[in-house]
Structure 1
Amino acid sequence: MNQQVANRLNSLAVSAYKLMGSVLLALILVGLLSFLSVQGFFLSNTRWVSPTILSPTDPSVLQLNAQAAQQESERDALQAKRRDVANRLQEAERVLAAERSFQQRFVVALKGEKTSRDRLARRLSTLRQEYLRAGGEIAESNRAYSSLARTRTGALYGAKLMEREEVLTLNHHLAQMAQSNLSLAQETVDLDMRLDTLKREREGLTAAENGLGRDDAPEGLTTDTLLLEREYTLSVLEQARAEAQRKSLEADLRALDDSLRRFDQLLRVVHGSPYLKAVEQNLTVAFVPYENLAHAREGTPLYACALKVVWCREVGVVGPVLEGEVSQQHPIRQYHLRGVMVELQLRDAPTAREGLLHLGRPPLML
């Protein structure tokens, strides 16, 4: 009797073990089939997004905000440097314009001085000719009168017809006439000297005009015109320095403009990042792989499902696409995908904690 009970108990235990093994095997098969089904489903499905909540205290948000602030500070420094270079370039252009104007006016003034010297020399030459003619006539008249007066005075004084005082007075007048002859000769010498000075000045101005910008030394230069030419040479050197500085500053300005354009492009990318939009407040976004982007148009309905694919309900709609590429791990399969972020407009906050949401319709609805 006891043996029968033991056998029955052994039989029940074996049956229980078999049943438990069958149940476990069935559960394993169901789990494996579910896993393979989900994996197979998401292998070809392109109608899903992975939601997430970005907060101002998120490390990625803080890091990107700090990076944006640093980039903006560097851009402001470049902008200030560009303004300084632009101001120096304007100053160099003003110096160039002033030096060119000076050189042009210098040449005009040089021609004007030479013309003035020519005109004055002609007038003095004409005056000298007239002065020589008149002086010769005056000197000849004085000599004739002096000779006649001396002869007549000697005769009258010898005949006791003229007092000695009158003789002295007449001699004094004759001496004054001789002095006037000397004055005429002195004036003639002065005119000759002035004509020679004008000739030298005119030759010097001509030599300076012909020698501007040349290395050789033309004949006829004077110290005065050489000093004038030195001012012109200093102006030419200042113009050359200003031109070299302008070219250098223009190259610096182009390089700074290129750097600013790169900074602007970088800042546009940074400010367009969804992480930076979460600086002021929490932002509910979703990662959309590039292959799913065609189904994630703005306004597309969103569905949350139990067990990833069943018992689904509508929870919101897709918002605008955010600029900038991001990389994120697949919510089911263990590899990273490239894509973009989109804003989500959800009906309740807990939905944002779902692993994934479906686009357009429930996943098992054809």
Structure 2
Amino acid sequence: MNQQVANRVNAVAVNAYKALGTLLLCLILLGFITYLSLQAFFLLSRRWVAPTVLSPTDPQILQLNAQIAQQASARDQVLADRREVQVRLADADRTLAAERDFQERFLVALGSERASRAQALRLLTSLQREYQNARQEIEESNRAYSRLARVRTEALYGAHLLEQEDHLTTNHQLAQMAQSNLTLAEHAVNLETRQAELRRELQSFDAAQGGSGAKAGRATAEVLLLEREHTRSVLEQARAEASRGALQEDLRALEEAAARYEKLLATIRASPHLRALEGHLTVAFVPYENLENALPGTPLYACAAKLVWCKQVGVVGEVLEGEVSVKHPIRQHFLRGVMVELQLQDGASVQEELLHMGRPPLLL
């Protein structure tokens, strides 16, 4: 009796083991067939898309926002530098305008001063000629009168016909006449000295206008000081021109850098991920080899187990500009492609790993 029970138990165990082995073999075979089917599907099919659920915390979105913040900060720094350069450039322009205006007015003032000195020299020259004629006449008259008065006074005084007081008075008058001659000579010297000074000033002004006053050693102290101010203005103008040229180069470089940052920011903001997130769009990834089937209005199907028991869940919308890279649904490499807008009837369909365009993959 015990032997029969043992035999039955062994038979049941053997049958169960065989059934379990058969089941495991079927499962392995089913998994292998499924694996081969999926590999064959992705190898041959050009009608699948991979829906993408976007959120503000998505790593790709966070990375793009970080890039935008970084590039915007760099652009703002460039714009700040550009504003500073523009301020310095405007200051250099004002300095150039002021120095050029000063130099023009300096030359006008120098010419006016020279004309004034020339006019004074002409007047002094004319006055000197008249003064010399008058001086000659006065001196000749004084000499003739002095000789006559001295001879007559001495004769009368010797003949006791003239008092001593009158004699002294006459001698005093003759001394005053001699003093008058000396004064005339002194005035003549002053006129000549003033003329010489004016001629020297005219030569100095001419040399300054010709730019050779200091080198020729003919400049007066007054003109030398004026020429120093003019030289300072010329040097300041040269510095302002050199600074202006460098600032213009810096401004062009900063404007080009700002334009590059703007273009880069526009490129980042045009990323399909950000556009889809900002526009609250439902999107899917389409590899380039599948793009010809992703026409707007193409039906979309969701299937159980990726390939069977399918139903239509929406249609394909517009293609979003910009390339993206996404990891293959079952393989380890990345695929290049684009994002397309999805118009889904059921919001839960966006959570599917795959959607099929045009028709179900197995027509089921």
Paired with 1:36 and 1:185, the residues of 2 have a C-alpha distance of 134
Q: Deviations for 1:254-287, whole angstroms, at most 9, x for unmatched residues?
A: 3322322222122112222244347669653211
Letter in 2 for 1:264: E
Residue from 230, 233, 255 that aligns with 2:231: 233
The 1:180/1:307 distance shift into structure 2, 3 A limit, reads same
Report the 3-state secondary structure (helix = DSSP H, G, I; strand = E; otherwise coil) of the residue aligned with 1:293: helix
Please tell me the residue identity of whatever aligns with 1:242: A
Distance in 1 of aligned mates of 2:326 and 2:353: 13
Equivalence for 1:270: 268
| Aligned pairs (5 A) from 1:301-316 | 301-316=299-314
Instruction: State the distance in 2 between where 1:329 and 1:311 align.
Output: 26
> 1:78 corresponds to which residue?
78
Range with greater deviation from structure 2 (229-238 or 82-91): 229-238
**Equivalent residue number for residue 292 of structure 1:** 290
Corresponding residue number in structure 2 for 1:6 = none
Deviations 1:81-105 (A, max 9, x none): 1111121122122222322333343
Output one character per residue of 1:193-217: Cα deviation in whole Å (capped at 9) or x when no partner: 11111111122222333335xx982
Secondary structure at the counterpart of residue 53 of structure 2 = strand
Contact 1:316 1:347 in 2 (8 A): yes
- RMSD value, Cα: 4.0
Change (3 A) 1:160 1:349: same
Q: Pick closer, same or farther for the CA change 1:297–1:201 going to 2, 3 Å.
A: farther
Equivalent residues, number = 361
Q: Give distance in 1, aligned partners of 2:92 and 2:116.
A: 35
Alignment check: 8 A CA contact 1:301 1:314 kept: yes
Which sits farther off after the overlay, 347-356 or 20-29? 20-29
Range moving further from structure 2, 244-253 or 79-88: 244-253
- What's the counterpart of residue 144 of structure 1? 144
Number of the residue aligned with 1:328: 326
Contact 2:276/2:283 (CA < 8 Å) preserved in 1?
A: no
Cα distance in 2 between the residues matched to 1:361 and 1:112 = 98
TM-score by length of 2: 0.80
* Distance 1:207-1:281 versus aligned 2 partners, 3 A rule: closer
Compared CA separation, residues 119 and 359, structure 1 to 2 (3 A) = farther
Aligned to 2:339: 341
CA displacement at 1:29 relative to structure 2 = 6.3
The answer to whether the 8 A contact 2:146-2:174 is kept is yes
The corresponding residue for 2:64 is 64
Note the alpha carbon deviations across 1:274-329, whole angstroms, 9 max, x for none. Answer: 44347669653211222333333445443323343444433233344444432112
Tell me how far 1:50 sits from its aligned partner. 0.7
| Aligned equivalents of 1:20, 1:57: Cα separation in 2 | 46
Letter in 2 for 1:69: A
Secondary structure of residue in 1 paired with 2:216: coil
Mapping of residues 16-165 of structure 1, within 5 Å? 35-153=35-153
CA contact (8 A) 2:301 2:312 kept: yes
The answer (yes or no) to whether the contact 2:214–2:224 under 8 Å persists in 1 is no
2:349 pairs with 351, 358, 365, which one? 351
What's the secondary structure of 1:54's corresponding residue?
Answer: coil
Check whether the contact 1:52–1:285 (CA below 8 A) recurs between aligned residues. yes
Structure 2: state its 5+ residue gaps. Answer: 1-9
Spell out, residue by residue over 1:163-199, the C-alpha distance to the aligned partner (whole angstroms, 9 max, x if none).
6666666555544443333322221111111111111
Check the 8 A contact 2:286/2:337 in 1, yes or no: yes
When residues 239 and 51 of structure 1 are mapped into structure 2, their CA distance, relative to the original with a 3 A threshold, is same
The one-letter code matched in structure 2 to 1:255 is A
What amino acid is the match of 1:60?
Q
What are the within-5 Å matches in structure 2 for residues 200-219 of structure 1?
200-211=200-211, 217-219=215-217
- Rounded Cα–Cα distance in structure 1 between residues aligned with 2:147 and 2:298: 137
